[in-house]
Amino acid sequence: MENRNELNTEQGKCDQMSVKSNLVASILAATVLAGAANAADDLKVGLMFTLSGPAATLGEQGRDGFLLALDQIGDLGGVPTEVIIVDDEQKPDVAANKARELVTRDEVDFVVGPTFSNIALAIHKPITDSGTILISPNAGPSPFAGADCHPNFYATSYQNDQMHEVMGAHAKKQGYDNVFLMAPNYQAGKDSLSGFKHSYDGGIAGEIYTQLGQLDFSAELAQIAAMQPDALFTFMPGGMGVNLVKQYRQAGLASIPFLSAFTVDESTLPAQQDAAVGFYSGANWTPDTDNEQSRAFVTAYEEKYGSVPGSYAMHGYDTALLLDAAVRAVGGDLEDRAGLRKALEAAEFQSLRGKFAFGPNHYPVQDFYLAEVVKRDDGKFQTSMVRKIFEDYQDNYASECVMPN
Amino acid sequence: MTSLFLLQLLNGVQFGVLLFLIAAGLTLVFGIMDFVNLAHGVLYMVGAYLMAAFTMITGSFAAGLLLALAATLVFGLALEFLVFRRLYERSHLDQVLATFGLVMIVNEGVKILWGTAPLTVPMPTLLSGSIPLAGPLQYPVYRVAIIAAGLVTALGLWLVINHTRIGMLLRAGASHRSTVSALGVNVSRLFTLVFAVGAMLAGFAGAIISPILSVDTGMGESVLILAFVVIVIGGIGSIRGAFLGALLVGVVDTLGRSFGPILLRTIMDPAAASQTGRTLAPMVVYILMAAILFARPAGLFGRNTS
């Protein structure tokens, strides 16, 4: 026994050695090749997501969605594909530096990212200025949808305001006349409430801005209880939403409809669980979207990663499909930038959402839905489609965009 | 309006009680050992994570709580033995650097162990209802339980500190450290004890708040700043000061957030009131601290060292 063990370890060492020397050889070869062929034939995609810190779940979903598609397609557009994954740490300065590295050192053809809008604002210029194409699979900041639209920038997700407008339209349709509004006190929070009011014109019971990162909402919930509004509209992403939802139910307020954006979704539901059942959110897709491709995606994702995919994962997946279609359309000729842009604009791919089209500002024109949290038969939680709110809905900034050629 | 005020008062007391559990250990460590421990918030977070882990394993809230308490105690002892013991004689700057580094290491370790997604602890069914107050207002039973647990802990600490030999040594140590050690008291063992109890109290706070708040990395940092405010207001080294300071901060913060904008509305127009209100509300606690320090530079119960 002992001898055999020794033998095994010896062999193990040998294996390791050969792996190491192989690695060295391939690195050397790669460097030499890169010098000669300039890797022009290969397709390089940089993925930039928030992969650390409290919001890492969102970034991980986006990354996993993209990689799942890549797994299934193989090489994007039939061109050997290399993916470089970087973490923006949710810090604009870090993100801008890493974006510069991606375009100058790694010479990527596309950057897919980021998760958050403030990061998008920071990396937009270094990437698009270099001629590299930036595709956002989540962040949809307003400037790039309007006056600052850019031929090298695309968003496959939505314009941020639209999710809030969906809930405003729903509240109006329900005939609510006394809605309580609550959001964290920062730019996205203020945008959220103004987005809601854009499509809601009824009465407002109260408007509270909480501190960003606040975790105990007992004081605010007491005020809501005292006012007994028709409904609550809130925007509380991440951990804030997890806490608010649990405390909302604990305070016995669940009889007041809970309308929200980015507060109850597949990234927070594993922590909110039963507390979130019956709460509403705006959505452009839900895991129970009724088409074959979407069902297959959800099954494959759950099998591979063990969690229910949210819209973050769906956008990542769709972005890979979009790239695949565009590269295929130009026959793998990545130097043909004009052709690539045209192919991206055409968006000839089968989105998990069903239909998908870009508006003139490179933001999607798509349907939006009211979604409700449900508990599935297998004990997991997901958002479920209730009804369509907007059909072929375009953002409010598209008219301000004059897309340069 | 009066019942809403009562409700917010309860919310404030509950928040204050939680702050007290965290601040109690911090004020003892800072006051008696003259040790600045930025990693104190980490113990609060670790308590919550252990609570989540143990309730998941045992399926019972009580068993989870007991195991989490024991485990944070062990964790605190290990930290003291491995790291802090080497820092007592160093300057405050070294202590700040080392404990800040520890915050990052433990946060990252927790992420590796439990992942980045927030965890959740189910509320025990026995404590999950709410008590109806006036009209539509209700108060969750669990928050009442937190208040009770905090008050009992405070009472226990008061008894130990004022009526036992160890308490006497602690009180002596807080004001005349060198004299205590000159009298032949094993100061190093006293320090370990203080540290372990402080760690357990912070872990207890994290564990009992976990059914209300999500268990998340970085949850320790948000309370640490307020805990420092509490001990500065109360006077460093004073448990009584920490208790009153914590209640004061909890109540003032909660009432300021909820009634500040309402009060402002009576003297200015609504839009300006809500704008000023949301700017002022997070500042109220710090204004309170500044005012108290102006009147009593060593805090409410601090001894003037000069």
DSSP A360-379: TTSSEEEEEEEEEEEE-TTS
More confident residue, B262 or A139: A139
- Residue A183's closest chain B neighbor by CA? B278
Domain count of the fold of chain B: 1
If you count residue pairs, one on A and one on B, with CB atoms under 8 Å apart, how many are there?
97
Where are chain A's structural domains?
A: 39-158+285-362, 161-283
pLDDT at res. A29 = 46
Calculate the alpha carbon distances from B134 to A158, B3, B14, B252 in Å. 44, 6, 19, 23
Cβ–Cβ of A273/B4 closer than 8 Å?
no
Q: Which of A354, A367, A359 is closest to A401 using CA atoms?
A: A359
Q: Along the 405 residues of chain A, how does pLDDT read in single tens digits?
A: 334 443 344 344 444 444 444 544 444 444 444 433 344 578 999 999 998 877 788 899 999 999 999 999 999 999 999 999 999 988 999 999 999 999 999 999 999 999 999 899 999 999 999 999 999 999 999 999 999 999 999 999 999 999 999 999 999 999 999 999 999 988 888 889 999 999 999 999 988 888 887 888 988 998 898 889 999 999 998 788 988 999 999 888 999 999 999 999 999 998 888 999 999 999 999 999 999 999 999 999 999 999 999 999 999 999 999 999 999 999 999 989 899 999 999 999 999 999 899 999 999 999 999 999 999 999 999 999 999 999 999 999 999 999 987
A242–B214 C-beta distance less than 8 A: yes
State how far residue A254 is from chain B, nearest Cα, in angstroms. Answer: 12
* Nearest chain A CA: its distance from B21 CA (Å): 17
Say what the pTM is. Answer: 0.80
Name the average pLDDT for chain B: 89
Token pair, residue A279, equals 């709460």
- Which of B214, B258, B263, B275 should we substitute to test contact with A (largest number of A Cβ atoms within 10 Å)? B214
Confidence of residue B191 (pLDDT cuts 50, 70, 90): confident
Average pLDDT of the residues in B207-226 = 88
- Reported in sequence order, the residue ranges of A226-294 that DSSP labels E, i.e. its strands, are 231-234, 258-260, 280-283
Chain B residues close to A270, C-beta within 8 Å: 117
Q: Contact B130/A207, CB-based, under 8 Å?
A: no
Query: For residue B2, which of A256, A217, A222 has the smallest C-alpha distance?
Result: A222
Residue numbers of the domain that contains B92? 2-295
The DSSP letter of residue B214 is P
From B161, B139, B305, B143, select the one nearest B243 (Cα to Cα): B161
Kindly indicate the confidence band of residue B186, based on its pLDDT and cuts at 50, 70 and 90: confident
**What is the bridge-based pairing of β-strands A364-375 and A357-358?**
antiparallel
> What is the Cα Rg of chain B in Å?
20
Nearest to A222 among B117, B216, B258 (CB): B258
In a domain, B304, yes or no: no
Domains A39-158+285-362 and A161-283 share a fold: yes
A39-158+285-362 domain in CATH 3.40.50.2300?
yes
Question: Confidence class of residue B305 from pLDDT cuts 50, 70 and 90?
Answer: low
Q: Cα distance from B118 to chain A (closest Cα, Å)? A: 6
pLDDT category at B129 given cuts 50, 70, 90 is: confident
B136 with A211: Cβ contact below 8 A: no
User: What is the average per-residue pLDDT within B21-37?
Assistant: 89
In this predicted structure, what is the pLDDT of residue B218? 79
B28 lies in some domain: yes
Residue B219 has which token pair? Answer: 């949850």
Backbone angles phi, psi at B274, to 5 degrees: -70, -35
Is residue B139 situated within a structural domain? Answer: yes
**CB contact burial A38-72 (16+ within 10 A = b; e otherwise):** ebeebbbbbbbbbbbbbbbbbbbbbbbbbbbbbee
Mutate to test the interface with A, among B4, B14, B55, B116 (most CBs of A within 10 A): B116
CB-based contact A213 B222, cutoff 8 Å = yes
In this prediction, residue B304 has a pLDDT band, given cuts at 50, 70 and 90, of low
Whether the Cβ atoms of residue B245 and residue B21 lie closer than 8 Å to each other: no
Structure tokens at A97: 């530096």
Which residue has 């100061």 as its token pair? B187
Q: Residue B13 has which token pair?
A: 């007391």
Distance in angstroms (rounded) separating the CA atoms of residues A326 and A154: 13
Distance CA A400, CA A58 (A): 30
CB half-sphere exposure, A343, CA atoms < 13 A: 22
Q: What pLDDT shows up at residue A9?
A: 40
Average pLDDT on B90-102 reads: 94
Q: Return the CATH number at B188.
A: 1.10.3470
C-alpha of A218 from chain center: 31
User: Based on the number of CB atoms within 10 Å of its own CB, is B220 exposed (0-12), middle (13-18) or buried (19 or more)?
Assistant: buried
What the block records as the tokens of B114 is 């439990």
Chain position carrying tokens 């019956």? A278
The pLDDT value recorded for residue B214 is: 82
Residue B64 has pLDDT above 90, yes or no: yes
Residue of A nearest to B137 (CA): A225
Question: Per the CB < 8 Å rule, is A215 touching B219?
Answer: yes
Determine whether domain A161-283 maps to CATH 3.40.50.2300: yes
Quick one: closest CA in A to B219, which residue? A215
Instruction: Looking at the complex, report in whole angstroms how far the Cα of residue B22 sits from the nearest Cα belonging to chain A.
Output: 16
Q: How far apart are CA A239 and CA A232, in angstroms?
A: 18
Q: Any residues with CB less than 8 A from the CB of A219 and at least 6 apart, and which?
A: B8, B11, B12, B254, B257, B258
Distance from CA of A253 to the nearest CA of B (A): 9
Three-class DSSP category at A40:
coil
Q: Hey, are the CB atoms on B123 and A242 less than 8 Å from each other? A: no
- Confirm whether B302 is domain-assigned: no
- How much of chain B, in percent, has pLDDT values that exceed 70? 98
Strand partners, A393: A366
| Burial degree of B24 (CB within 10 A; 0-12, 13-18, 19+) | buried
Please report where in the chains the tokens 């103004």 appear, as a residue.
A194
Sort strands A110-112 and A133-136 into parallel, antiparallel or unpaired: parallel
List CB contacts (< 8 A) between A222 and chain B: 4, 7-8, 11, 137, 258
Look at A220 and B258 and tell me if their CB atoms are within 8 Å.
yes
Interfacial residues of A (vs B; Cβ cutoff 8 Å): 52-54, 56-57, 60, 185, 207-209, 211, 213, 215-216, 218-220, 222-223, 225-226, 228, 239, 242-243, 246-247, 250-252, 267-268, 270-273
Mean pLDDT (whole number) for B43-65: 95
pLDDT attached to residue B178: 79
Q: Could you tell me which residues come within 8 angstroms of residue B300 by beta carbon, excluding any fewer than 6 positions away?
A: B233, B234, B235, B238, B241, B244, B245, B292
